[in-house]
Amino acid sequence: MIMKKRSLKIITLVSASFIATSCSIFSNLSYDWMDATNNNEEIHYCLLIGQNEHSDSIERTRWTRDALGTRDATTEINGNANLGTPKEGTLTLGKGTSFEKEFKVTEIEHMEQKSLAGVVWDEITANSTTATWINKHGKNITLLISNNDGMAEGAMHAYNYIQKLPLFGYDANTSTMRLIEQCSKNGVGIMGTVDQNAAAQTSAAYMIIRNILDDQKSGENGIGTRDYNPTNRGFSKEKPNTNLNVYIDGFNTSNPDHEGIVNPNEDERSEHNMDLNFDDGNHEILSKSVAIDINNVNDYLDEKGNVKDAKALAWDDTLGFVHKCVTTPNSAASNLSTYKICHIYNNAAETYLQGTMFNYYSQYAEAFGVENMKEYKYDGDGVSEQTIFDRIKGALSANKFDAFLVNMVTTTDGQTFVSELSKAAADYEGKTIPTGGWDKWEDRLNTPLIFWNKQPQKVTGEVDIDTMNNRYFKYTYFVGVDAAYGGRVQGKMIVDYLDQCYLETVKN
């Protein structure tokens, strides 16, 4: 198997002026930097954890701690519950200046935000947890860090929240970006968040599906026959001996007769590739993340405070590039075939999934020829996979879906979805599943199975390669965020904030 992978340079958009503005606003109010740091000696932070076994939550926790010096790599096993007890760390602020100083850093609280009903990443739980922590530690809390925006907003609305206590989220939800914009005006709100580039994730998920389904056709709409190579997991197209990776065909292959999307020229295709990591070893495509703060938040919001339509974002913007490329090729626009995709969301009440991700899937559905996207969307309760299966049971039998786009409740349930959805796909394709699946790759099901947002994992925290290489589906992939990259972006954003706050206090 050939691995194709790109490494990306970590960037952050946080600026010094963002930090200085927020510090000067809250310094003479209820939150006081000197009190919260024991007169520039110590940093105490609390961490709201989303889900112990979720890969994104794990990496955000890991790399935030790494940035703050509290990560104890020697005791890490897997998951937030087993990342080891955070150690007492040190962080040098004011590097390269005459004010350079080492701070002691302590993670005074952390907890998975799981409701009594079993809902994880829970905003209401985060609200009560934060109230408890503030009652316990008061103004000794230097800052709060959350694995996502929903929990950050829950924390901010705790009944006893310390006004202007620094708070950082992750996801770039519309409501959170409005709070960042508010913070830019009066210092009350959220200091920063991280955009997972949902545009790249959703377009990549649709593009992989189109690549696979388009290439199962033979000569329709001007598309030539292409043979898939299961060893290299690539297509042989115009050059018989050239294997084109299923991930990037359509993203960086200029072919006016190919259905789906086409980027207009080589330079732009190269730039877009830098928004994504391709790793064939794990059958995954991962987007990179960027930080959003009070200086750049208005690049993403319109005059009414809504997230700008995808096509309205600036051409030279890091995320806006993706939107410019999501267009139907002129030569195929009149006869672009449509596909019926079963969209599965694990939680009907989760803000990021139902807001940000749903928004981009909706915007891109037409361009990718996705049929009745909203009609074929099925939501779970965020607690049990069985709720999802109960809700899609009738739909699976009443419809012949061309592909499955799956967001699980629990990352260790990948095999469960393979087992359940393979039954429906086998009925669609008129096949009988042998015990344990098919030995030969070419005998397996043609229906693509794409996991998104939650990557199938083993209980050890590793990618569940057995699920990705299952013996039922030919094409199983994961599309999501490069969680480690995003964790580093959040960690650096927080350290930059602390550094500028410290320098402002000593210089003034």
- pTM, to two decimals: 0.75
Q: Which of 55, 59, 83 is nearest to 71 (CA)?
A: 83
Where in the chain is CATH 3.40.50.2300? 16-196+485-507, 198-274+333-481
β-pairing, 167-168 vs 193-195, is unpaired
What architecture (CATH level 2) is domain 198-274+333-481? Answer: 3-Layer(aba) Sandwich (3.40)
Q: How many Å apart are CA 378 and CA 329, to the nearest integer? A: 30
Distances (CA, A) of 88 to 71, 106, 189: 9, 5, 29
Cβ contact 61:488 at 8 Å: no
Q: How many Å apart are CA 104 and CA 329, to the nearest integer? A: 57
Per-residue confidence of the chain (508 residues) as pLDDT tens digits? 333 333 322 223 333 333 334 443 333 347 899 999 999 999 999 999 998 888 788 889 999 999 999 998 776 665 555 566 799 999 999 999 999 999 999 999 999 999 999 999 999 999 999 999 999 999 999 999 999 999 999 999 999 999 899 999 999 888 999 999 998 888 888 999 998 888 888 888 988 888 788 766 533 332 333 444 444 444 333 333 233 345 445 444 433 333 333 333 444 443 444 466 777 778 888 887 889 987 788 888 888 877 776 545 543 344 444 444 554 443 343 455 789 999 999 999 888 899 889 988 998 888 788 999 999 999 999 999 999 999 999 999 999 999 999 999 988 999 999 999 999 999 999 999 999 999 998 899 999 999 999 999 887 778 899 999 999 999 999 999 888 889 999 999 999 999 989 999 998 7
Give the amino acid at 172.
A
CATH 3.40.50.300 is held by the domain 16-196+485-507: no
Token pair for residue 73?
Answer: 């790599």
pLDDT (tens digit per residue) in 221-275: 323 334 444 444 443 333 332 333 454 454 444 333 333 333 334 444 434 444 6
Share of the chain above pLDDT 70, in %: 74
Q: Which of 507, 503, 491, 508 is nearest to 105 (CA)?
A: 491
Query: Which residues, in sequence order, are CB contacts of 346 under 8 Å at separation 6+?
Result: 353, 379, 380, 382, 388, 407, 408, 409, 454
Cβ contact 383:396 at 8 Å: no
pLDDT (tens digit per residue) in 369-421: 899 999 999 999 999 999 999 999 999 999 999 999 999 998 899 999 999 99
